[in-house]
Structure 1
Amino acid sequence: MIRIRGRALPHGEHVDLCADGDRWTTGPVPNADLVAEGWLLPGLVDAHTHPGAEAPGDRLDHGVLRDHLRQHVDAGVTVIRAPGLADEPPPWFGVDPETPRAWHAGPWLAQHGQFFDGWGRRADHAELPSIAAAQAARTGWAKVIGDWRSNGEPVPLDVMTAVVEAVHAVGGRVAVHTQQAAGGEVAVLAGADSVEHGMSMDPGLLARMAEQGTALTPTLSVMRQSLPEVRSRPDSPAKRWYVRGARAHPHLVAAAAEAGVRVLAGTDSVPHGRILDEVRALAGAGMRPHDALAAASWDARAYLGLPGLEPGAPADAVVYAEDPRTDLDQLAHPIAVILRGRPVRVRRTG
């Protein structure tokens, strides 16, 4: 039995929690070991990551998958959402005691002639709704490549609407990759549950996203990181498209937060375990540090149906010496990472 105590975010109230298996309790637990005390978060979340393959097109490798997931845990990530994997994952994915809880959408679903060779499943428009619904019935999510790069035709609105309706009918959710204005509009008008990337999207759609509950996972840090390299390339329509969209992306993120859109932190990057980079990028775009941290913790967990640091909640937590909202660099130095009621990482102090 373990115990943690301190100020729990988001509200900063003092809590004293014990892990009774994989659930937090405030009741007395005899002989519970005080693992850490400080500032407590209910575990970090990477809402857009694709573990298990080193490069686009690679096969899913179970050893690589474990390594990637351990990198997440080292960074304090106790929950991931993988909107697209190189293949269906092994049975231990998401339940192994030393790796994060996981939500996933299986392989990506794409139109013919689009997406990375060797990854995903290509489908005709007529079969896309039923394929997406079958995937979501198995795993809770389906991921559709709504558009591809600068010139790929987006999935038509009537098809995407049928996909969303079919997935919702089986109790699932739809994530849509989009980096074009046209594809972003299709995703929002179709009622997708989350827009992944959202580069070049019309800010005029943000009010509708907020109203219908469509989340935005902007993967801002990886775009910002790639921008200098893209700028160094020879001039082309594709280069101008990417530079224009990536430069405007921080403004879109800030506007989304202001409009009440739920923003989720996702890294979409290798090496894994770089959630701090995304939180920094969200704050740098103009989100309050409190909200940027929420996008990678309690709000993202709520989006996935997980309560925070309260009795009966899953026993995940990350403990820091200081309030990470006033110093985001604290995220790089957790005192302890608790996953499923077990201390998987502990840094002894004093």
Structure 2
Amino acid sequence: MTQRPHVLVVGGGIAGLSLAAALDPERWRVTLVEGRPERAGAGAGLALWPGALRALDRLGVGEGLRRDSVAPTDGALRRPDGRALVHLPAGRSGLRLVARPALLEALERAVPEQVARRTEEVADPQALADRLGADLLVGADGVRSAVRRSAWPRAVERPTPWVAVRGTTATAPEVSGEWWGRGRLAGISPVPGGTYWFLAWRSALPGRDLDPAAALAEARAGYAGWDPRVSALLADAEPEAVLAQRIHVAPPMRSLVAGRTVLLGDAAHAMTPNLGRGAAEAVLDALALADALHRHGPECGPAAYQRRRIVVGQALRVTSGAMMHLATARLPRRT
């Protein structure tokens, strides 16, 4: 009997779980390694675009996620004072908004029981792959990817000028959309069971994972005088219930494959969050890699995956950064 190729997946988030769920356990031996198996985090809202939903249908979880998600409502792009600049009808885009924990739980259920699980922080992915006898090492370990650094030592994540504060409330939003101006961005959208809100602005707050209380204090000062629908969310926010982070992005990547090592998801193209494409692209990366491996095997599959996905991911990374610069631009005041 031919031995199944062994795929070592480092990272048990959206990208890693999607790949583990998509690989046929009759053809592949899969080991999934995650340093933080609880992965709870904040209940951030995620956008599932139609292509990602079709991919999730293939994993058997699309129908359930449609039930556990909501469609976007009509919104607008507004000035800080709330006056609408552009109305944004929801239309029939097929987009769904889901809470991050719901997506992770659905993907967990889709992972075959044959997948081996390990709980450990991976400092040396190449050594772990050698020790386990892996034929393929997949970096699905996010923007701070240890796998990426192990194969591309100069490809280090980059801090941006922006910090982001995100939270949820248990009440439905009165309004949805985004507010741009004065070098700041705010957004409100519906999620199942309530509202997801987010802020981003240029900040000198130190550190990668920020003190939520300090970030909220800076936000309340900076967003003073904004649309009351934004300031009310900030007034009610509690530090222990928000996620406050310096936004980091992946470096430009000319290749996603180096020998037996492959990158997907945020490890390959982590972008600023304002386009809402990170989760969807992670799922699409995973399904594209699984398809390529099933069709071409471990030797040629990674190259086929790269041909299919590298341009999309890198283009979105650049575009999202450009949109963030535009959204948080400081325009001169009229005199």
User: What band does the TM-score fall into relative to the shorter chain?
Assistant: under 0.3
Q: Which structure carries more helix by proportion?
A: 2
Normalising by structure 2, we get a TM-score of 0.23
